[in-house]
Chain A
Amino acid sequence: MRLELRGITFSYKDLLIFERFSASFNGGGLNVVLGPNGVGKSTLLKIMAGVLRPKEGEVLLNGSPPARGEISYLPQDNELLPWLTVRENVELPLRIRGVNSAESRRRAEEAMKLTGVLRLADRYPKRLSGGERKRAAIARAFVAEAKALLLDEPTASVDPAGKEDIWGLLKEAAKERITVAVTHDVAEALLVGDVIYVLAGRPARIAEVTEGGERAWGRLRSIVESYYRR
């Protein structure tokens, strides 16, 4: 399981965000991309999800361009459609694929049970907390059986106890699919990431900083500090 970006060039208005940018993320562990606000973390996810088209370069999932629906993407906000209940939101990928309603319902309930939102199935997103919304959106990604799960600041609007739950769920999810979460929170990244990357600079560059023990922390801190100073 491998999600790759090869030679990506992408500009937004006059800003060159990525220039011949390459990176790869593997399955089996939680990948966390750390970076300051505005560096292009969300853009990176959107390019991988196929929402933004780069000027040059390609995204490959296990060596070939991903088909629609193979990559699940959770934006920072608006991760659920507000006019659908939790259940309808979770069932949506299946409805889009034309799965019949009994089967969609069964699979959605399974996923909601797994993420702990089954009791909220008939609520509209407006009546959910930040953490509940995230868990419902993760249930939707489970239902979609996507090969990769991309999350933009998954714990940004979640209380501390909820944060732990969400990361726990994502660690589980990461065992079976490529999971990439971006965050600007250094402490959280260090705590939960199996593989940690730092994205910084303009055009952005990415560096993997995961190594064992004290050395990793020292190296990470110096990289982060140097990037944040820019």
Chain B
Amino acid sequence: MGEAKEHSRIILSSLRAAYFLAALLLLVILWEAAATLYQKPYLPHVSEIGEKLWRELSAGRLTEDLQLSLRRIALSLLISSLTGMSLGLLAARIGYGNRLLRPIILATYPMPHITLIPILLWLLGVEGSKIAVISLITFYPIALSTMEWALRTPREYEELVETMGGNSWHKVIYVVIPSILPGVLTGLRIAVSTAFAVVFVAESFVLTGGVGAYIEESWQRFDYAGVYAGMITLSAAGMLSYAAIWLLEKSYRERVGY
């Protein structure tokens, strides 16, 4: 019974992978058809993009830029996760937090934060402003999902810990944090995808390396294959990070059924 279940699970995930590859192949075919049909410099052939990507990766230029972008994204996500989780928890769990912090988070969420770049640049310098803008934008999905999940923490579990003699700290450690973890991971998953989209903007306003800067420089040189090579690099890295967090989230949910 268990073996049959495992067998069908393997078949299902292979099928999903096959569909994913088929979708990717379809995209490549459509692109190539458009490139052949229109013959425009901004629509290079797939082979040109592939060659450019291979050359830049093996020469190390794009790899270095990717490392720099990943470092910036990781640091920003660390900042946004810590602040997002803490403020999300405060907003959901503390009376004043709920009355004051929650409306502030909700009201500032739809603001176009990217417009703050010049001020952040002035306040925090070049590198600091890049980290700050990515952190600021990725803060919201994490804070909001933490807040929503912390509001739903089952009271019964907290009562259990209370009857064992647990204090507020024990409740946070043994109930609140594990119960919001799936929500935090969902928020983080959305934040990661956003981070990869925002890193381009952050890295393209003052060019100090990173895939965003690489794309911007390619634009300035009319090197369209370079632009697409940079975009593919960023989106592949984004997709892999997204998948890694999704797997983590899925395994946690499957294990604890929560």
Q: Which of A42-61 contact B (CB under 8 A)?
A: 46, 49-51
Q: Which of A46, A51, A72, A82 contacts B258 (CB 8 A)?
A: A82
User: Residues of A contacting B179 with CB < 8 Å?
Assistant: 83
Give residues of chain B (112-156) contacting chain A, Cβ–Cβ below 8 Å.
Answer: 154, 156
Q: A83-B256, A124-B256, A124-B257 are in contact. Are A68 and B154 (CB under 8 A)?
A: no
* Residues in chain A near residue B161, CB distance under 8 A: 92, 96
A144 and B156 contacting across the interface, CB-CB below 8 Å: no
With A72-B163, A75-B160 as given contacts, are A92 and B256 in contact (CB-CB < 8 Å)?
no
Contact A78 B157 (CB under 8 A): yes
Chain B residue at smallest Cβ distance from A88: B174
The minimal Cβ–Cβ distance linking B167 to chain A, given in whole angstroms, is 8
Which residues in A have their C-beta under 8 angstroms from that of B164? 68-69, 72, 92-93, 96, 144
Q: How many residues of B contact A (CB 8 A)?
A: 21
Q: Which B residues are in CB contact (< 8 Å) with A68? A: 162-166
Chain B contacts with A in 157-189, Cβ cutoff 8 A: 157, 159-166, 170, 174-175, 178-179, 181
Contact present for A73 and B163 (CB under 8 Å): yes
Q: Which of A69, A78, A81, A126 contacts B163 (CB 8 A)?
A: A69
Contacts of A67 in B (CB 8 A): 165
How close is A92's CB to chain B, nearest CB, in angstroms?
Answer: 6
B255 part of interface (Cβ distance < 8 Å): yes
Please indicate the chain B residues that have their CB under 8 angstroms from the CB of A77 in the complex.
156
CB distance from B150 to the nearest CB of A (A): 15
- Contact A93 B157, CB 8 Å, known A81-B175, A81-B178, A126-B255: no
Considering the complex, give the chain A residue whose CB is closest to the CB of B181. Answer: A83
Q: Complex formed: what's the CA distance from A46 to B161 in Å?
A: 13
Of the candidates A46, A83, A144, the one having the most CB atoms from chain B within 10 angstroms of its own CB is A83
Q: A78-B157, A81-B157, A83-B179 are in contact. Are A97 and B165 (CB under 8 A)?
A: yes
In the bound complex, CA of A68 to CA of B162 (Å) = 7
- From B157, B159, B255, B258, contact of A73 by CB (8 A): B159
**Residues in B whose Cβ lies below 8 Å from that of A180:** none
Other-chain contact of A126, B159, B174, B257 (Cβ < 8 Å): B257
Minimum CB distance partner of A52 in chain B: B159
Contact between chains at B159 and A82 (CB < 8 Å): no
Q: Give bound CA distance, A144 to B165, whole Å.
A: 10
* Residues of chain A contacted by B163 (CB below 8 angstroms): 49-51, 68-69, 71-73
Whether A82 pairs with B162 at a CB distance below 8 angstroms is: no
A126 to B109, CA, bound (A): 36
What A residues does B159 contact at CB under 8 A? 46, 49, 51, 73, 75
- The smallest C-beta distance from A3 to any residue of chain B, in angstroms, reads 14
Contacts of A144 in B (CB 8 A): 164
B residues at A contact (CB < 8 Å): 154, 156-157, 159-166, 170, 174-175, 178-179, 181, 255-258
13 CB < 8 A contacts A-B:
A46-B159, A49-B163, A68-B163, A68-B164, A69-B164, A73-B159, A73-B163, A75-B156, A78-B156, A92-B164, A96-B165, A96-B170, A124-B256
